[in-house]
Amino acid sequence: MAERPAGEGPKAPGGRLPARAVIDAVADGFTELPGTGGGGGGGAAAGTYGDGPIDWEGYGRALARAHERTGEHESVVCGTGTVGGVPAVLIAFEFAFLGGSLGQRTGDRIEAAHRHARRARLPVVSLTATGGSRMQEGMRALVQLQRVARQSALTRAAGLPQIAVVRDPTTGGGWATLGAGSDVVLALPGAQVAFAGSRVRPPDADPAAYGAEEKLAAGQVDRVVAPRELPEVLGRWLSLLSSPDGSPAAAGGPAEPPRALGGAGAQGLPETGWEAVERARSARRPRADAYLDAYFEVREEMSGDRCGGTDPGMRCGFGRRNGRTVAYAAQCGTPTLPAGFRTATRLIRLADRLGIPVLTLVDTPGAANDEAAERSGAGAAIADLFAAVAEARVPVTTLVVGEGGSGGALALAAPENTWVTPDCYFSVIAPESAAAILKRGPEHVRETAGELRLRPQDLVDLGVARGIVRP
């Protein structure tokens, strides 16, 4: 790896880093893949270019100029290197080569890179900077998106992680395949990230909607990373999603439930149902962040549901505990939004595909039930999460750390592997709501809480929980 931090070094025309400088900034020992370097458009010998599959006049001269300007024969550079000590296949776009556009030979190289990744059992890192498909090759260029999507799907089916670093700009088909289609998406600050390029948007469009920061807020990228931090963050993600030899992380049995963290639980178990409710709702009771910080030595978070939404009350990501990767989805004590359920579903399905065990922390008064939640598809989002947990082949472990409010909490709970803390309750319905439905006055709420049998010890007796974890 170069001594200079990412984001520094010689710049290409337009002020963007060349593809090889980007690779040099994040990876050690880069070796270009055989068959992905050299050559000209349409298979011509190095240094000579034809006018391509639709005989676009002047295309050959444009390719020759791009080669002279960049030293590259195509808009992507593909090879292997180690990032943070983890071997990976790298696909880096050279924006100075015809705007990093995708053509037939771009597709050839990307397919070769994915094929090598599957043979060698390596994760794929895409360092994208592209304006989209190459118009000088017409539909032959556009159908490369189908080709790239298929290779990505085959790599996904092989259980190998794909991480995208979206640079400025990442637009068009490059964003809609290698970018947004990756398991984890990291973006550089201020980067244009959008399907619509800058010259084909409505003239009155808000530029912010097409930027990395807005994509983060809309749940379409996982993190905006400063260039100086990129090598460390990218390496950490690869180490969490892959074993040191580059193969997928192994499950190795269920994750152990965290120990209870202090709170009112230090006083023993609640004597009444209402005491259990009060403990779970106490501001002094530890929340998800405290449990995650105590449980993991290092962790990285995913953000967003990829459908335009985020939920700050749902933490999802991957962490390392005792040298082992565990995925986590944790509620933070607030009503869970549809975006939160969808983000948890995304997390569980990715962990299942990579063979990584899952830990879920339940803590919510219930699913959000306002008009916005209904319009955002709360029922469908909860149903999909129930299905993800039910279908998971990897073990899922659940700890109820606070409120267990009805189906919005149960959707995140593992059947037959749910544990509880002394500071929690789990109920079919909140005591206040139960009393209201039964036409009981407020003075009967405490009594109703007891009748619901929602205390930690009740949950064990009922067979809902396996046991009570202690501090």
216-248 per-position pLDDT tens digit: 999 999 999 999 999 999 999 999 998 644 445
Q: Tell me the pLDDT band of 187, cut-offs 50, 70 and 90.
A: very high
Q: What single DSSP character describes residue 389?
A: H
Residues with Cβ within 8 Å of 8's Cβ and at least 6 positions away in sequence, in order, are 25, 227
Cα gap 54→10, rounded to integer Å:
35
CB neighbourhood size of 378 (10 A): 21
Give mean pLDDT, residues 37-59.
69
- The whole-model pTM stands at 0.91
14-33 per-position pLDDT tens digit: 458 999 999 999 999 999 99
Q: What single DSSP character describes residue 116?
A: H
Angle between helices 378-391 and 338-354 in degrees, nearest 10: 20
- Radius of gyration in angstroms for the set of CA atoms belonging to the chain, rounded to a whole number: 25
With a cut of 80, say whether residue 41 has pLDDT above it.
no
Six-digit token pair at 199? 């010259």
**Which of these, 379, 398, 382, 312, lies nearest to 345 by C-alpha position?**
382
Written as one letter, the residue type at 322 is: N
Q: What is the pLDDT of residue 243?
A: 63
With a cut of 70, say whether residue 153 has pLDDT above it.
yes
Written as one letter, the residue type at 227 is: P
With a cut of 60, say whether residue 344 has pLDDT above it.
yes
**Do 339 and 333 form a contact (C-beta atoms < 8 A)?**
no
Give mean pLDDT, residues 365-371.
95
With a cut of 50, say whether residue 40 has pLDDT above it.
no
Q: What is the pLDDT of residue 330?
A: 98
Cα gap 468→418, rounded to integer Å:
10
Q: Tell me the pLDDT band of 184, cut-offs 50, 70 and 90.
A: very high
235-284 per-position pLDDT tens digit: 999 999 986 444 455 556 889 999 998 765 557 899 999 999 999 999 99
Give mean pLDDT, residues 409-430.
96
DSSP-based three-state secondary structure for 326: strand
80-98 per-position pLDDT tens digit: 999 999 999 999 999 999 9
Q: What is the pLDDT of residue 332?
A: 97
Q: What is the pLDDT of residue 281?
A: 95
Quick one: what percent of the chain has pLDDT higher than 70? 91
Q: Tell me the pLDDT band of 328, cut-offs 50, 70 and 90.
A: very high
Give mean pLDDT, residues 50-67.
94
**Which of these, 255, 323, 267, 324, lies nearest to 291 by C-alpha position?**
255
Q: Where are the alpha helices (DSSP H) in 7-93?
A: 19-26, 59-70
Six-digit token pair at 409? 């909490």
Q: Where are the beta strands (DSSP E) in 204-264?
A: 223-224
Quick one: what percent of the chain has pLDDT higher than 90? 83
Q: What is the pLDDT of residue 197?
A: 77
Give the distance from CA 283 to its chain's centroid: 30
Average pLDDT, the chain: 91
